[in-house]
Amino acid sequence: MAKTAKKERGAVQRQGRRVMPTPRRTRRKAAPALLTVGELIAAAYDTAEGERLEVLKLVTSPQMTRALGRRIVLVG
């Protein structure tokens, strides 16, 4: 039942407030994709349309080094 609060003119019903539970924020981070060096070079060939010089530029670029956390050196 609702509680009543008394005023000068009579009793006024007062509604209680129910506290809603807080949502949990325990979302896991997405695991980084595991790629082999062969898959990386194959993706570079697809991107560069098969041109070797462009593949070399893509794979050895500073952006790729930063993204992978490793430096790739191609010999051959």
pLDDT tens-digit series, residues 6-57: 556 667 777 788 888 887 777 677 677 788 888 888 988 998 888 888 988 9
Give φ, ψ of 75 to 5 degrees: -120, 135
pTM for the full predicted model:
0.49
Could you tell me which residue, 29 or 1, shows the higher pLDDT? 29
CA 8 to chain centre: 58
Q: Within 10 A of 8 (CB to CB), how many other CB atoms are there?
A: 4
